């Protein structure tokens, strides 16, 4: 029970500290869609911009997921350190 409470505490502290420090947002440019395209070139240009916007969003999400994984690993390592301390040094 002590170990579980310790894990929950560490996760909450890590999450709240990280979340309070910085909330990232993407800087991707969303293309405006014309009401009517006057040429095939305009349509293709819009499609290219929409594709680039999608790729930018995907890249941002991938980067954030990587950061989440790093933070989860760091929190898990901290929990392991604490649990090892409690189990082997405080007994």
Q: Where are the domains of the chain?
A: 2-88
Look at residue 35 and give its three-state secondary structure: coil
More confident residue, 4 or 28: 28
pLDDT in tens, 33-77: 999 999 999 999 999 999 999 999 999 999 999 999 999 999 999
Q: How far is CA 69 from CA 4, 58, 63, 75, in A?
A: 21, 17, 10, 10
Distance between CA 76 and CA 21 in Å, rounded?
20
pTM (two decimals): 0.67
State what percent of residues in the chain have pLDDT above 70. Answer: 78
Longest pairwise C-alpha distance within the chain = 78
- Contact residues for 68 (Cβ-Cβ < 8 A; gap 6+): none
For position 60, what pLDDT does the model report? Answer: 98
């Amino acid at each position: 029970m002590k170990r579980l409470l310790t894990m929950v505490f560490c996760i909450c502290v890590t999450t709240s500290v990280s979340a309070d420090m910085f909330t990232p947002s993407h800087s991707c440019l969303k293309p405006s869609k014309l009401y009517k395209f006057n040429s095939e070139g305009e349509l293709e240009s819009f499609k290219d911009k929409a594709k680039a916007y999608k790729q930018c969003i995907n890249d941002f999400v991938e980067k954030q997921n990587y950061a989440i994984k790093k933070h989860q690993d760091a929190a898990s390592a901290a929990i392991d350190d604490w649990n090892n301390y409690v189990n082997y040094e405080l007994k």
